[in-house]
Amino acid sequence: MLELRQLTKWYPTPRGRRYVFRDLSFRFPENASIGLMGRNGAGKSTLLRLLGGIDTPDHGEVYSDERISWPVGLSGGFQGSLTARENVRFVCRIYGADAADMRDRIRFVEDFAEIGEYFDLPMKTLSSGMRSRVGFGLSMAFDFDYYLIDEVMSVGDPQFKKKSREVFKSRMDRSKMILVTHSVADVREYCNVIVHLQSGSATLYTDIEAGIAAYQNNAPAPR
């Protein structure tokens, strides 16, 4: 189960609080990969951070008994003074990996990222593209029930993008995802349902084409 319970999130502005969500209650469908769509500023990335525990609600809660990833490819949480290898090892420890499992996961990320000797240099010396490669590889090194994706499959050159999509598809054979995207093609390829965010509300569309139409036209929610 993955559920929002009276979720409220706001940010301070010179004119006062700007509410992204106010007392939003919503249950995500089970056993489905979800396309999270909405206009810019609708709260898609904010909701993804809340689901992944990167941000916290001002009121209410995100309730889940599922294993949920951090936003895939997230590189902002790396410790800059540690090497990529040390950062990966640290995350492995947080997730309780034993010595053998840790070695396998570190090797996977190193091979996946393809950054050579930079894997053993401090993260702060790596380019943003290299950090994103490490972040994406680290996300794929763990098994989750839900992977949270914020349009990060565009990282890297065409060959790396192809490899990323292949690895991602293999994970989707046994997992689900919540995908934030403006790409209708990606939603059609990866998702079973659409959740459309508009004016602080969330509407579920089990018909993909109806959800796409709502996103494109900001159509009223179905009754």
The ranges assigned to domains in the chain are 1-67+144-155+174-222, 77-142
What does DSSP assign to residue 11? E
Question: What global pTM score does this model have?
Answer: 0.88
- What pLDDT is stored for residue 152 in this prediction? 54
CB atoms within 10 A of CB 82: 15
109 DSSP β-pair partners = none
204 DSSP β-pair partners = 195
Tell me yes or no: is domain 1-67+144-155+174-222 CATH 3.40.50.300.
Answer: yes
Best CA proximity match to 151, nearest among 175, 127, 176, 186: 186
Looking up tokens 């950054």 gives 115
Looking up tokens 């790409």 gives 183
Kindly report, residue by residue over 170-209, the tens digit of the pLDDT.
998 899 999 999 999 999 999 999 999 999 999 999 999 9
At residue 146, what is the residue type? Y
Best CA proximity match to 206, nearest among 28, 18, 8: 28
Least confident range from 27-36, 47-56, 161-170: namely 161-170
